Amino acid sequence: MTASSFDRRYLLMAAAGVFVLLIVVYPLWQVLFRSFLDAGVLSLKSYQKVFSYPSYYRALLNSVWISCATAAMCMVLGTLMAFLVVRTDLPGKKTLRTLLVLPYALPSFFAAIAWIQLLGPQGYLARLFLQVFGFATVPWNIYSAGGIVFVLTVHYFILVFITVAGALERMDASLEEAARASGASTYQIMRQITLPLVLPAIMAGGLLAFIGALANFGIPALLGMRARFFVLTTSIYYALAIPDFGLATALSSMLVLVALVSMAFQFGIQKGESRFTVISGKAVHPSELKLRAVRYPLFLLTSFFVIFMSILPILSMVLTAVMRYWGAPITAANLTLQNFNYVLRFEAAQRAVMNSLFLGAVAATVAMFVGTVISYLHVKAKLRGTRVLDFLATIPYAVPHTVIAIAMILAWARPPVSLYGTLWIILVAYLAVYLPFAVRTTNSTLQQVHDSLEEAAKASGARLFPRLRDIILPLARPGMIAGWILVFMPALRELTVSILLYAYHTETIGVVVYNLQDAGYREIAAALASIVMGLLILGNMIIRRLTGGVAGF
Binding residues vs another protein (CB under 8 A): 1, 4-5, 7, 450, 452-453, 455-463, 466-467, 470-471, 474-475
What is each CA distance from 469 to 124, 472, 474, in whole angstroms? 56, 7, 7
* 515: Cβ contacts below 8 Å, ≥ 6 apart: 507
Q: How far apart are CA 400 and CA 523, in angstroms?
A: 30
Q: How far apart are CA 493 and CA 8, in angstroms?
A: 39
Mapping DSSP to helix (H, G, I), strand (E, B) and coil, where does residue 504 land? Answer: coil
Q: From the CB of 5, what's the least distance to another protein, in Å?
A: 7
Residue closer to another protein by CB (options 89, 451) is: 451
Residue closer to another protein by CB (options 176, 454) is: 454
Residue closer to another protein by CB (options 416, 548) is: 548
Q: From the CB of 463, what's the least distance to another protein, in Å?
A: 5
Q: From the CB of 464, what's the least distance to another protein, in Å?
A: 8
Q: From the CB of 479, what's the least distance to another protein, in Å?
A: 13
Q: What is the largest CA-CA distance in the chain?
A: 90
Q: How far apart are CA 134 and CA 241, in angstroms?
A: 43
**Cα–Cα–Cα angle for 465, 429, 371, nearest 5°?**
25
Q: From the CB of 10, what's the least distance to another protein, in Å?
A: 13
Residue closer to another protein by CB (options 4, 331) is: 4
Q: From the CB of 456, what's the least distance to another protein, in Å?
A: 4
Residue closer to another protein by CB (options 1, 132) is: 1
**CB 533 within 8 Å of CB 103:** no
Q: How far apart are CA 534 and CA 549, in angstroms?
A: 19
Q: How far apart are CA 75 and CA 82, in angstroms?
A: 10
Residue closer to another protein by CB (options 458, 505) is: 458
Mapping DSSP to helix (H, G, I), strand (E, B) and coil, where does residue 88 land? Answer: strand
Residue closer to another protein by CB (options 454, 523) is: 454
Q: How far apart are CA 422 and CA 502, in angstroms?
A: 8
Beta strands in 329-428 (DSSP E): 413-414, 417-418
Q: From the CB of 414, what's the least distance to another protein, in Å?
A: 44
Mapping DSSP to helix (H, G, I), strand (E, B) and coil, where does residue 233 land? Answer: helix
